[in-house]
Amino acid sequence: MPTRLREAISGLVDLLLPQHCVGCDVAGTAWCRDCAGALGALRRVHRPLLDASPPVFALGRYRGAARRAVLAYKEAGRRDLAAPLGAQLAVALRSTAAERAWEGGWWLVPAPSRAVVSRRRGGAHMARIAHHAAAELSASGVPTRVAECLVTARDAADSAGLNPQQRLDNLTGRVLPLPRGLPPPGSQIALIDDVVTTGATVAGAVSTLDAAERPVALVLVLTATAG
């Protein structure tokens, strides 16, 4: 089904059916304030594969309401979650930048998904969140743009069931840059993703951007597994 038709149908369903929070099923909102608290405790993420990476922070643990929100957004077509999740990423970026005395604007780079997965989800799901986050940040006085500059090679396998080293081997050389989409040299870059498990996706994306002379200052993810 074409993406525009799928989105039109999704929008029509949203109009006809009342919203319910994906975290607790309360009526009237896609993501209630109580459940949003599951993504309100920014914490540093440590993984062996990320030892050489810039600092990685998660907004919450991949469990409970946070896990349900990520899965509903990625796999169940709940695109109405892009705005609130993007807003929470924007708050986290402002907070982290203030703590580290980082000034100036940002470029958000969404972590890539395999093309077949993106098509199934109706588009690059992290790019949609990134655009909402950028709008929130820019409106608050922090100029922010999105660079959709990374893709995953077609021969990358599904990572489900792979151990950390296998995940890294699977993505090594398969996270590719789109040169025309890269942020300008010297930009302050934040890589964003939905879940960190082993860290292989983050490591691959950071390595690719480093090779393109676009170093990442910060990695922000919605959730992280227990490790």
CB 204 within 8 A of CB 198: no
Q: What pLDDT is recorded for position 148?
A: 96
Q: What pLDDT is recorded for position 103?
A: 94
In this prediction the pTM is 0.87
151 forms beta bridges with: 176
The residues, any chain, with a CB within 8 Å of residue 216's CB and separated by 6 or more, are 53, 54, 109, 189, 190, 191, 205, 206, 209, 210
- Weakly modelled stretches of the chain, pLDDT under 50: 1, 3, 16
Structure token pair of residue 219: 């990695």
Q: What pLDDT is recorded for position 53?
A: 86
Q: What pLDDT is recorded for position 61?
A: 97
Q: What pLDDT is recorded for position 159?
A: 67
Q: What pLDDT is recorded for position 2?
A: 53
CB 144 within 8 A of CB 108: yes
Q: CA torsion sign, 68 to 73 to 77 to 83? A: positive
Q: What pLDDT is recorded for position 113?
A: 77
| Domains of the chain in sequence order | 39-224 (3.40.50)
CA distances to 36, 73, 81, 152, 156 from 69, rounded to whole Å, are: 9, 6, 8, 24, 26
Q: What pLDDT is recorded for position 160?
A: 65
